[in-house]
Amino acid sequence: MNFTKILLLILTAIFFISCSNKKVELQYGDWRGILLIDKENTANELPFLFTLEFNPDTKKISMKIFNAEEVIETDEIILENDSLKIKMPVFKDEIIAKIIKGDSIAGEYIHFGSRTKYSIPFYAVSGKKDRFIINEEPAINVTGKWEIFFSPDDSNTNIGIGEFKQQNGKVTGTILTESGDYRYLEGVVSGKNFLLSCVNGSHTLFFKAEISDKGNLENGILIGGPNWKEKWRAEKNENAKLRDPEKLTEVRTDMDIKFSLVDINGNKVSLSDEKFINKVVILQIMGSWCPNCMDETRLFAELYNIYNPRGLEIIGLCFETKDTTESIKRIKRFAEQLKANYTFLYAGEVGKKSVLEILPVLKDIKGYPTTIYLDRKHKIRKVYTGFSGPSTGVHFEKLRNNIIQFIEKLLDEN
């Protein structure tokens, strides 16, 4: 359906329903949501699947969003008459919608980034279980490793590694980059069309490309929001590699790390505090808006509980918005929902300038997260750029094992 017609339908439905106080019964079960993420091309709709359920004991509505193997759950849902407000877990994004009929809802998906806030028109229909529709036999099987060229016609081309699995026409997988991965992606190959999407509370991602006669992915478009639209292409390459994440961030060897920042309880914290003296310390350059930081924080929360009694401390240096009060609220929510019991500090506004002001020992910053490992004397022993999360499978397991081995090595040193 044409974007303008869909938007007009949504706005008309919301107008008429908002003029009425009549309660509309909400359907529970399977739903297919659509984000109208691209106003320039009506064909670029971002679909995602979710369920809505009502618990008669708690009187709460719960939502589950599905991205390949990932299931995202929230019960921060308010239903008042015909109005529905859904708050995503961990991050600040939310859906505000009206119930048009019991089996359809429409409104907006609101994204709260580190610096931006925007809304995307949203509607959903119940009873639907197909993310994308497969209209034709797949032209190829995309299972394997792909070298992806983002902004291929630009001097600042970035490389990614796509790792996909295809069964019949359905595709799952992820894309690894030097700053992290795109987490759990799900989609299809239908004829010569390659389509993927993801909605996880921070990312709203839509990928599409055409399969060429040579079997490459061409004329690709990545849309992450109203202001994020990027071209890409890909070639199958089982030997494709990214640069070594331990060699991407250079440090100054003639400087020590010093900072004094506010934690989520309003207390000043410094690396020289007694709590950190003679302790192995991991400094996590991160943000509560960052999906890869979430994956890293989940792992660090687990490892902190195991290794803190042996002398491990972890400090999350959170780069957020200019608003200190609002930023601390977001950091606190992030830490609480991930059950992370280590130290989180508000380090200022997101951006390279802020990071290098707090940590002038770094010559540059390539992305979030960037993780600095300090020994008991607080000397830098390693800087790791990015994080490959659970969606990357063997890459995550290898990274997890390497982190554990390195922590144990530092803890065993005098």
Cα(136)–Cα(396) distance, integer angstroms? 34
Mean pLDDT of the chain: 93
pLDDT of residue 116: 85
**pLDDT bracket for residue 161 (50, 70, 90):** very high
**pLDDT bracket for residue 108 (50, 70, 90):** very high
Average pLDDT over residues 303-330: 97
Structure token pair of residue 191: 């004829």
More confident residue, 253 or 360: 360
pLDDT digits (tens, 9 = 90+) for 372-408: 999 999 999 999 999 999 999 999 999 999 999 999 9
- Structural domains of the chain in order of their starting residue, each with its CATH number: 3-126 (2.40.128), 144-236 (2.40.128.120), 260-412 (3.40.30.10)
More confident residue, 96 or 2: 96
pTM given for the model: 0.93
Parallel, antiparallel, or unpaired for β 280-286 and 370-374?
A: antiparallel
pLDDT digits (tens, 9 = 90+) for 332-368: 999 999 999 999 999 999 999 999 999 999 999 999 9
pLDDT of residue 2: 46
Which among 20, 72, 48, 232 has a CA at the least distance from the CA of 122?
Answer: 48
pLDDT digits (tens, 9 = 90+) for 111-132: 998 888 999 999 999 999 999 9
Average pLDDT over residues 93-98: 96
pLDDT of residue 195: 98
Structure token pair of residue 49: 């699947």
Peptide bond preceding 369 in cis form (omega within 30 of 0): yes
Tell me which of 6-20, 111-125, 226-240 is least confident: 6-20
Structure token pair of residue 255: 């400087």
pLDDT at 3 over 50: no
Q: Hey, how many other C-beta atoms are within 10 angstroms of the C-beta on 215?
A: 12
pLDDT digits (tens, 9 = 90+) for 22-56: 567 899 999 999 999 998 887 899 999 999 999 99
**pLDDT bracket for residue 9 (50, 70, 90):** low
Average pLDDT over residues 170-191: 97
Cα(105)–Cα(26) distance, integer angstroms? 9
Cα(343)–Cα(331) distance, integer angstroms? 11
pLDDT of residue 302: 98
Percentage of residues in the chain having pLDDT higher than 90: 88
pLDDT digits (tens, 9 = 90+) for 54-82: 999 999 999 999 999 999 999 999 999 89
pLDDT of residue 23: 64
pLDDT of residue 4: 46
Q: Which residues contact 373 (CB under 8 A, 6 or more apart)?
A: 280, 282, 380, 381, 382, 383, 384, 406, 407, 410
Asked if 258 contacts 268 with a C-beta cutoff of 8 angstroms, the reply is no
Average pLDDT over residues 166-194: 97
Residue 68, helix vs strand vs coil: coil
pLDDT at 143 over 60: yes
